[in-house]
Amino acid sequence: MNNHSNNLCRFRLVIPAIALTIATLSGQAEIPENDWPVHGHTHKEQRFSPLDQVTRGNVHALQPEWYLDIPSIDDGLTATPIIRDGIIYMSSSFANIYAVDAANGDLLWHYDPEVSVHSGFSNSWAARVNRGVAVADGLVFIGTPDCRLVAVSADSGELRWQNLTCDPSAEYAITGAPRVADGKVFIGNGISDYGARGYVSAYNAATGKFIWRFWTVPGNPEDGHENEIMEMAAETWADGWAPYGGGSPWDAIVFDPELNQLYVGTDSAIPYDPSVRSPGGGDHLFTNSIIALDADTGAYQWHYQTVPNDAWDYNAANHIILADLQISGESRQVLMQAPKNGFFYVIDRQTGALLSARPYIGITWALHVDLKTGRPVEHPEARYYNNQSKRATVIPSLIGGHNWHPMSYNPYTGLVYIPAHEFKTTFSINPDAALGGVLFDVYGDDLDEKKTGLKPETKNTIGRLIAWDPVRAKAKWAVNHELPMNGGVMSSAGGLVFQGTATGWFNAYEANTGKRLWSYDVQASVQAPPVSYRIDGKQYVLAAVGGGGIARFMVPIYGTGEKALGPSRLIAFTLDGRETLPALVLHQPAVPRPPELTASAEDITRGAETYEVAACGVCHGSTGVGSRPHTSVPDLRYMTPETHKDFRNIVLRGYRRPTGMIPYDGILEDADIDTIHAYLISRQWELYQQRQNKTQTKE
């Protein structure tokens, strides 16, 4: 077991004298309602708690029972906590695992896999995100950003086995939670945006022995296709294969105990411009798809593709829910997904037949989905690379109408609760762009602060909690949020829906109407989904707070409110809780005076374009606005004189590669680096002068 970091020294180390009894989570095993034993509470991933002690009538009495700060180098929390036999297993950035006493919040043990962050861009970015662990048979499983599948003891955190399940030097990484069932651990990977060829793998849970692998896109035919399914997929690519990779199953992996199938949602293809990716056209299987596999062998069963020949990164890797629904008077075993493209899909999970597909937000890229063909009917101007202007502004954005944040299905109300967001992205062709010739403005063309004078966070953005009726294929109610990127969702038998927000509030809503019944200021942005459990007859509602993931790095102004900058922590609420959170003191760090700005306006504009072309904003924030000054991926408007002095060496020559800043040597020239630097100096001057003006106004 790894030694505790200094940040953990104030917590006492408690190793249970009696080993945890962790029942095998087989397909037929009964899921104990007191726990939250798998990612979505049950293998159906409905994220519905059967506990009903906390109800519409008493939810107003919820107060913290305990809280525990989780050191995560200020990268926030995105994981679903797993609860087994009174122990919480929680992960944070850099694939750290924390075991916590669920009754009182005592830290029991901490495991640090000591990940490497300098193998590639994907490895470095992914290190800041982890969406959770799996627990079974006395083991805790986690995927690491440097491509390991790790199993540690649930009792002590001691390493039991580990396997290298992908190659981090080939732009692979892991951010998603493993799934465990029937003695097997299932794990996907990412990040195909940078050239990785996607696949999902199964391993023996007890030993780590490899069992099977399913590739999601075809490889080089000169090496021979793995099977006839890959031969079939190759026919949908003009060159007979996916030369740039694609199709990573980075999040949605769902085990179906009734049909013994595994459902896998896949990423989009790269480059984004299909005319570059595969000039001869084609649907590009199995990108943007839901694939059904035999859970024992990995054999292909069926697939459904949400966006053939995708051009907008509208992947289908999002949360998948299994349920039995009465549709047209017939009971159907279905799966449900609200992927990034803005449509809500209901699919027969026995056959893959499409039952319904309706927009859950306002969309502009497509008119509808043809239920006979299953294909979207696209707006003729949406494919920017075919336009005369070579650009298009579309809704949903590149971030999607719904991203990784989990939904919830309540079998009593029959509603799916979707954490949705509605904003736009402008795509345009730029042959020099890092992501395959496409430049994208995440905030949309009319949100450019320099063009409009309006702050991006104040214009044309909507965050919503939507209650969707999957049988009638329409929304029953919706609640608007102040910012777009809000947390995952849990519903309960108490008639409630719980969700945290980017502005730092943890809310409970009436499940049938959407009326807000309770709110608590948790002081930090919430992106992770809540869970619930019961100990000694008492129901706990657990919130993991501290915004993380894409809402922290790429679009921080959409994912973190100005007063929601508190620490990453677990907060357990009960009806008789007596704990209070410490007062939040926001320390606004000083902006160092930047160097004199000697660059021309033309060079600064070119630097802004190069910053986006080189995908700097994926980590440090679009438009040069980062999340915070002192995180593992800092806001570059707070650069010190020393950083300015070494800027070219850092960006071009790898002076900070050990901490994950991958060098651009061979990608950008000195002149490119200098224009990016000039742009960032201009952004730092804007913030510096803004602070100076505020100080003078107060005086």
Residue ranges with strand state E in 370-488:
376-378, 391-394, 408-410, 415-422, 425-429, 438-441, 462-469, 474-481
Residue 332 lies in a domain: no
In a domain, 670, yes or no: yes
Please tell me the distance from the alpha carbon of residue 112 to that of residue 5, in angstroms, as a whole number: 9
| Residue-level pLDDT at 586 | 84
**Is 637 part of a structural domain of the chain?**
yes
- Domain containing residue 623: 601-698
Question: Residue 419: what pLDDT?
Answer: 99
What is the model's pLDDT at position 33? 83
What letter does residue 637 receive in the DSSP assignment? G
Write out the H or E segment, with its range, that includes residue 683.
Answer: helix 670-698
Q: Are 499 and 511 in contact (CB under 8 A)?
A: no
- Tokens representing 113? 């896999």
- Secondary structure tally for the chain: helices H, strands E: 11, 38
Q: How far apart are CA 440 and CA 615, in angstroms?
A: 10
H helices present in 376-416, as ranges: none
**Number of domains composing the chain:** 1
Asked whether residue 137 is assigned to any structural domain, the reply reads: no
pTM assigned to the model: 0.92
Mean pLDDT by 10 residues, the chain (699 residues): 33 29 38 90 98 99 98 87 98 97 99 91 88 98 98 99 96 97 97 89 99 98 96 96 95 98 96 90 97 99 98 97 97 99 99 98 97 97 94 94 98 99 90 73 59 43 94 98 96 99 98 99 98 99 94 86 92 98 90 96 92 88 80 90 97 90 90 96 95 73
Q: Is residue 690 part of a domain?
A: yes
Asked if the structure places residue 248 within a domain, the reply is no
Q: What is the pLDDT of residue 60?
A: 99
Instruction: Return the residue matching tokens 């063009």.
Output: 451
Is residue 682 domain-resident?
A: yes
Q: Which residue type occupies 239? A: D
Q: For residue 587, what pLDDT is reported? A: 81
Q: What is the pLDDT of residue 696?
A: 67
Q: How far apart are alpha carbons 271 and 666 in whole angstroms? A: 19
Q: What is the Cα–Cα distance from 141 to 205, expressed in whole angstroms?
A: 9
Residue 457: phi, psi to the nearest 5? -75, 0
Burial of 687 (0-12, 13-18, 19+ CB in 10 A): middle
Instruction: Please confirm, yes or no, whether 313 is among the known catalytic residues.
Output: yes
Cα–Cα distance measured from residue 192 to residue 244, given in angstroms and rounded to the nearest whole number: 8
Q: What is the CATH number of the domain that holds 609?
A: 1.10.760.10
The token pair at 118 is 């300098």
H or E element at residue 550: helix 550-553
For 563-618, list the strands marked E by DSSP.
Answer: 569-574
* 590 domain residue, yes or no: no
Q: What is the DSSP string of 67-82?
A: EEE---TT----PBPE
Select which of 313, 441, 603, 635 is catalytic: 313
